[in-house]
Amino acid sequence: MDPEAIQTYVYPAQISRRDYQFDMARNALLTNSLVCLPTGLGKTLIAAVVMYNYYRWFPTGKIIFMAPTRPLVDQQMSACHTVVGIPASDTIVLMGSTKKDDSGSRRDFWREKRLFFCTPHTVANDLESGDLDAKQIVCVVVDEAHHARGQYASAEVLRLLHERKVRFRLLALTATPGQGLDEVQKVVETLRIGRIDFRSDQDPDVSRYTHKREMTVEKVKPDQAMSHVQDMLCELLRPCCAQLVNMGALGEAGFRMLTFIKNKATNGASRVEPPAWFTLQSAQQAIYRNQHQTAMELSKAYELLLKYGAKSAYDYIDKRGRDKSNTLVHRSDPVSVELVDLIRSMSSNGAHHSPKLDRLTSILKQHFRDATADTRVIIFTSYRESVKDIVQALREVPAGEDTACKIKVAEFVGQGDTGATGKKRAPGATSRGTKGQTQKEQKQTLDDFRAGTLNTLVATSIGEEGLDIPSVDLIFFFDVVDTIRAIQRMGRTGRARDGKVVILATEGKEYAKFTSEQKKYETLMTCLRMPETHFRLDKKCPRIVPDGVTP
């Protein structure tokens, strides 16, 4: 420790001072802090201030910044250098792919450098191997800190450090720390948080730095053909669920299905939808496996049909039919045969039997007719298979009377390949799935989007977290997601100028989920404003700075 340097702390004078950033940074110097700020409001500056001062105060100490992906790691290192001018000679990016030294380790990197930007997996692996001497660590910053619980690598890093009784300052950054009080408490306990600093874009000291963001919810009604297919799926699903419930194979989940099983209505608002597919996973007896798998398939097909359209539903049941023998496409009963034929026919008609895609295309035409040439749009979808369908539909929209400029669209997805189920595909497997993008392809896509070569991205969850994508005017949710992901998605707009968010929600269960998630977030915000009342904060955070010294 440098006894002279620790008497003061440095805050960048060249950057316009925002009181909330200044206060959060000062607090984070002296206690383990969870900083919750909307995307684009300066969490990185707070991290840079804390890291730089610990770099000054502890001349031999190691400071680590952890982010979940390589693009985020690179972005954060660049931003920290810009904010406080941390010497490049003392800084390094370490990843699993970083070339090791002659001894086959990264020990020399950890020994020679002082500021490290890494993925959590890299830090955990090097702590386990002994390449990283834990006792030298004085400060750790955890980006996207809502992941720091359970089996996530960031949580493992913290467990390893605490097991070794390392004294260090911890700063956690996130836009939303969890979906509810229990999740936030788990993050608090994992990171040993002593203070929560929360702001939303509605707070007076933050709102002056934000732009207007309008949110609308488009309730999408299934057309007559889709409603008929839904009813047929329910007709097939009810006896499966009834048998599983009668056999006691579903445990407590069975009670939640009774309304659905007993309801025979097949039209209008009286239709009772099946429970979400994951509630069926508790059937464990081998004797019931066939009914269980059938119920899973039917329920998943129902979910895909409502959220993403007939093509996604058909790709799913077709893929299962090619992989397994006892599936919907192999059944010979009249209802199953008619159902498969209907979904196949609907899937070949594209947007004509995808009300969401039809609504999306209509709204985008209007947007591009009214917008300036520098407009940018991002469409988020959770289901990888739907990405290519959306991209294909938008590429077919001609520039002309309907649009002032051509919709120049591309996908932005993760690195893993998927099968037609949307899940990661095994090496060598064949399917109608999608090919992932390499990091180089991802970077090129973002560069083209910033430059205007592209004006529309269709993105999976990789586009939700942290990446610096400024000046997005319009965000679409092609599906309803949980609170954390919704906040991450909305944070992509309203940063450099006013923006708009459009949420497409199918009438019924999906729309109900949206209203439920909104209420949950409002409750969570109230609790985060009074953290001492609602969370068990760590009152024994190490001060790190000596007693009697207040920089």
379 vs 406: which has the higher pLDDT: 379
Asked if 327 contacts 290 with a C-beta cutoff of 8 angstroms, the reply is no
What is residue 360's predicted lDDT score, i.e. its pLDDT?
95
Q: What's the average model confidence in pLDDT over 29-40?
A: 94
Confidence bin at 88 (pLDDT 50/70/90):
confident
CATH architecture under which domain 354-425+433-506 falls? 3-Layer(aba) Sandwich (3.40)
Asked which of 116-120, 281-285, 406-410 is least confident by mean pLDDT, the reply is: 281-285
Q: What are phi and psi of 222, to 5 degrees?
A: -60, 145
Q: Which of 460, 456, 453 is nearest to 437 (CA)?
A: 460
Mean pLDDT highest for which of 154-163, 319-328, 329-338?
A: 154-163
Does the pLDDT value for residue 498 go beyond 80?
yes
Asked which of 134-148, 267-281, 440-454 is least confident by mean pLDDT, the reply is: 267-281
Does the pLDDT value for residue 430 go beyond 50?
no
Asked which of 158-172, 187-201, 413-427, 440-454 is least confident by mean pLDDT, the reply is: 413-427
Beta bridge partner(s), residue 475: 378, 501
What is residue 83's predicted lDDT score, i.e. its pLDDT?
86
At the topology level, CATH places domain 5-209+529-534 in Rossmann fold (3.40.50)
Does the pLDDT value for residue 428 go beyond 80?
no
Does the pLDDT value for residue 108 go beyond 80?
yes
Asked if 117 contacts 92 with a C-beta cutoff of 8 angstroms, the reply is yes
Average pLDDT, the chain: 85
Asked which of 63-77, 339-353, 465-479 is least confident by mean pLDDT, the reply is: 339-353
Percent of the chain with pLDDT over 70: 86
508 vs 47: which has the higher pLDDT: 47
- Angstrom CA distances, 24 to 11, 78, 141, 442, stand at 12, 21, 14, 33
Asked which of 112-121, 356-365, 421-430 is least confident by mean pLDDT, the reply is: 421-430
Can you give the C-alpha Rg of the chain in angstroms?
Answer: 26
Q: Would you state the torsion angle of the CA atoms of residues 502, 356, 297, 458, taken in this order, to the nearest 10 degrees?
A: -60
299 vs 192: which has the higher pLDDT: 192
With b for 16 or more beta-carbon neighbours within 10 A and e for fewer, the 454-484 pattern comes to bbbbbbbbbbbbbbbbeebbbbbbbbbbbbb
What is residue 48's predicted lDDT score, i.e. its pLDDT?
95
Which three-class secondary structure state does DSSP give residue 378? Answer: strand
Does the pLDDT value for residue 454 go beyond 90?
yes
Question: What pTM does this model have?
Answer: 0.80
Beta bridge partner(s), residue 215: 501
With b for 16 or more beta-carbon neighbours within 10 A and e for fewer, the 136-162 pattern comes to bbbbbbbbbbbbbbeebbbbbbbebbe
- Measured CA to CA, the distance from residue 374 to residue 515 in angstroms comes to 33
Q: Domain 224-350's class?
A: mainly alpha
Q: What's the average model confidence in pLDDT over 266-283?
A: 52
Confidence bin at 269 (pLDDT 50/70/90):
very low
Q: 10 Å Cβ neighbour count for 400? A: 10
Confidence bin at 36 (pLDDT 50/70/90):
very high
One-letter amino acid at 381 equals T
Q: What's the average model confidence in pLDDT over 235-264?
A: 68
3 vs 536: which has the higher pLDDT: 536
Does the pLDDT value for residue 284 go beyond 50?
no
What is residue 268's predicted lDDT score, i.e. its pLDDT?
41
Asked if 94 contacts 109 with a C-beta cutoff of 8 angstroms, the reply is yes
Asked which of 95-109, 110-124, 149-163 is least confident by mean pLDDT, the reply is: 95-109
What is residue 267's predicted lDDT score, i.e. its pLDDT?
42
Helices (H) and strands (E) in the chain, counts: 19, 13
Does the pLDDT value for residue 28 go beyond 60?
yes
- In this chain, the answer to whether the domains covering 5-209+529-534 and 354-425+433-506 adopt an identical fold is yes
Does the pLDDT value for residue 264 go beyond 80?
no
Domain chopping of the chain, boundaries: 5-209+529-534, 224-350, 354-425+433-506
